[in-house]
């Protein structure tokens, strides 16, 4: 009887783990059936459940619950909590349509992203993202998701330009943008790259891009879904900027 009281608490803890729940979903359902008294729990099963519990209790599993307010969107919520929109979407599998949420609905805010997704986004990089989405909104286009993996790749490209003192879409290290992202196993359908050097602020860099028909078209690409922004300071020109604007595979 004592085991059946402990297990539901473990299950609830696991279900709040946005990383572990999808992996252990089938096992959780089996344990739930056992907890209902259909079968007596064995010590071995309890041990497994406790192990999962300990994993789910780690920092990667921590979440905060947020109640949707009027006029909220997942993009606004991600911005409010300074999170990657991809991580917000992936943490809320109960939301079938990320573009449609309702006041009072619960959204789980992950405290930490997945291992590959961890990438600190600097203030200037976030400014570029916000400015891009403001321009897209004026044109009636969907906002771009700030993608931490793409941001990591964009930072690498900016660092490469600084290191080898060039400003070009073709990197001596990574090749062209398509080759670079494919080599990093980043899923996409199309990729556009904007680069720049010498501009001290995000506003200056973004203004220069918007004054170029090619760069402006990249930012306002109707099919684009995700963006990664990479900025580094130093080198010959002092400041290096890269953005990858991609159309992602559906569900990827």
> Distance of CA 47 to CAs 31, 43, 50, 204, Å?
12, 6, 5, 58
Is residue 145 included in any domain, yes or no? yes
Domain region containing 148? 123-247
Which of 195, 191, 204 has its CA nearest to residue 124?
A: 204
pLDDT (tens digit per residue) in 179-226: 999 998 899 999 999 999 999 999 999 999 999 999 999 999 999 999
Tell me, yes or no, whether 155 and 102 share the same domain: no
Q: Compute the average pLDDT of residues 146-167.
A: 94
Is residue 189 included in any domain, yes or no? yes
pTM: 0.57
Q: Please say if the pLDDT value at position 85 is more than 80.
A: no
Tell me, yes or no, whether 29 and 93 share the same domain: no
Tell me, yes or no, whether 36 and 136 share the same domain: no
* pLDDT class of 71 with cuts at 50, 70, 90: confident
Tell me, yes or no, whether 141 and 192 share the same domain: yes
Q: How many domains does the chain have?
A: 3
């Amino acid at each position: 009887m004592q085991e059946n009281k402990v297990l539901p608490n473990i299950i609830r803890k696991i279900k709040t783990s946005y990383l572990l729940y999808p992996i252990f979903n089938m096992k959780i359902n089996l344990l739930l059936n056992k907890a209902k008294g259909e079968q007596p729990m064995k010590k071995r099963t309890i041990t497994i459940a406790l192990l999962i519990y300990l994993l789910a209790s780690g920092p990667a599993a921590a979440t905060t619950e947020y109640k949707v307010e009027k006029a909220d969107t997942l993009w606004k919520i991600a911005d409010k909590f300074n999170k990657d929109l991809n991580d917000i979407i992936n943490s809320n599998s109960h939301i079938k349509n990320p573009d449609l949420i309702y006041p009072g609905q619960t959204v789980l805010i992950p405290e930490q992203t997945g291992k590959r997704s961890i990438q600190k986004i600097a203030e200037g990089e976030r400014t570029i993202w916000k400015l891009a989405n403001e321009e897209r909104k004026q044109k009636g286009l969907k906002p771009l998701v700030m993608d931490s993996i793409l941001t990591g790749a964009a930072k690498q490209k900016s660092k490469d330009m600084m290191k080898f003192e060039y400003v070009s879409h073709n990197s001596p290290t990574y090749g062209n943008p398509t080759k670079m992202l494919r080599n990093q196993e980043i899923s996409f359908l199309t990729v556009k790259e904007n680069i720049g050097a010498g501009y001290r602020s995000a506003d200056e860099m973004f203004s220069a891009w918007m004054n170029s028909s090619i760069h402006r078209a990249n930012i306002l690409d109707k099919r684009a879904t995700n963006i990664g922004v990479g900025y580094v300071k130093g080198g010959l020109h002092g400041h290096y900027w890269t953005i990858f604007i991609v159309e992602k595979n559906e569900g990827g």
